[in-house]
Amino acid sequence: MLVGLSLAANLTSAATFVINPGLVYLYGWAGYLGYGLATPLGILVGLVLLSRRFRQLGDRYAALTLPQWIAARYGDRRLGVLYAVLSLLLITFMVLIVVGLARVLASVLGIGLVAALVLTIAIPMGYLLLGGAGAHTLTNTAQALIMLVVAVLLIGSGLSYWEGGLSGLLQRLAAIDPNLARPVNPESLLFRSPFEVFVANFVVGVAVITQPHLLSKALYLRSEADVGRYLLVGFGVAFVFFSVLLTGLYARLLMPEAGWWPTR
């Protein structure tokens, strides 16, 4: 269960809670179907297809990282080194996160940006060096539980808009703009066709699982019997997180024209 919660936290980026609800605000129901349903479905398929077999082989070779797994699985240390080097390219994403967190901390704590940057790097590096994968799992679990409380509050904040069920919600959106209530929004930048809404986002969801920090979570499990519970907990909690995108629809109903800009 702890590894499943850790997976859910890692699956959920700031985009899920901040950026994507804004895109759903702009493009309506089509945006939610793409990011809130098609992508999670792809993630579920990727988890089911890859996790069990990946863990079995990882257990056989005593591998704890993706490069180590690849080197052992194919009997080629050079291939493992190649994937380790490729994994280092994730530093670009780390820089994005570190800079963002440092700016938030500097503003909230009233300290300089350099001091905030040191805190942002030193705290996770400290507990990872002391506790390794166990500490990583526990801190991710704590993060997931906090996020779960916030997600439930956000999703529940718009229950009044569900009067009359889904059809009632879509009717309220259609009153603002008929395209907001359609499964495909021809006026949007990202959801103009069934392919863009469903196929592209499904493929992205499957691809997401192949990231080293996600796929390697299956290697933390003690036995084969844990895989089912791990998948149930991880995906179940992650789906709640993805449902936060409903707040984009709530916001559009509350503020029909707030922050509007041309779609083309």
pLDDT tens-digit profile of 44-57? Answer: 999 999 888 888 88
Q: What is the dihedral of CA 192, 194, 198, 201, to 10 degrees?
A: -40
Q: Are the C-beta atoms of residues 29 and 173 closer than 8 Å to each other?
A: yes
Q: What is the pLDDT of residue 60?
A: 81
Tell whether 105 is covered by a domain: no
Q: Please check the confidence at residue 215 and state whether its pLDDT lies above 70.
A: yes
Asked if the structure places residue 109 within a domain, the reply is no
| pLDDT at 105 exceeding the cut of 60 | yes
Mean pLDDT of 144-157: 96
Is 83 inside any structural domain?
no
Nearest Cα neighbor of 201 from 174, 215, 183 is 183
Which of 7-16, 61-70, 228-237 is modeled with the greatest confidence?
228-237
Asked if the structure places residue 77 within a domain, the reply is no
User: Pick from 224, 179, 245: which is nearest to 35 by CA?
Assistant: 245
Here the tokens at position 105 are: 């901390």
Q: What is the pLDDT of residue 66?
A: 82
Mean predicted confidence (pLDDT) in 71-91: 90
- Asked, for residue 239, whether it belongs to a domain, the answer is yes
One-letter amino acid of 190: L
pLDDT tens for 229-262 read 999 999 999 999 999 999 999 999 999 986 555 5
Q: How many CB atoms lie within 10 A of CB 35?
A: 27
Residue 100 lies in a domain: no
119 falls within a domain: no
What's the rounded Cα separation, in Å, for the pair 264 and 256?
19
The two tokens of residue 203 are 């493929």
Q: Is 202 exposed, middle or buried (0-12, 13-18, 19+ CB in 10 A)?
A: buried
- Burial per residue of 136-152, b for 16 or more beta-carbon CB atoms within 10 angstroms, e otherwise: bbebbbebbeebbeebe
Backbone angles phi, psi at 191, to 5 degrees: -135, 50
Mean pLDDT of the chain: 90
The pLDDT value recorded for residue 65 is 80
In a domain, 154, yes or no: yes
What's the average model confidence in pLDDT over 199-222? 88
Structural domains counted in the chain: 1
Q: What is the CA radius of gyration of the chain?
A: 20
d(C-alpha 179, C-alpha 165), whole Å: 19
| 87 pLDDT higher than 70 | yes
| Whether residue 73 has pLDDT greater than 60 | yes
Full-prediction pTM beyond 0.95? no
Counting other chains too, the contacts that 151-154 makes at CB distance below 8 Å and 24 or more residues apart are 151/17, 151/240, 151/241, 151/243, 151/244, 152/240, 154/17, 154/244, 154/247
Which residues constitute the domain of residue 211? 2-62+132-254
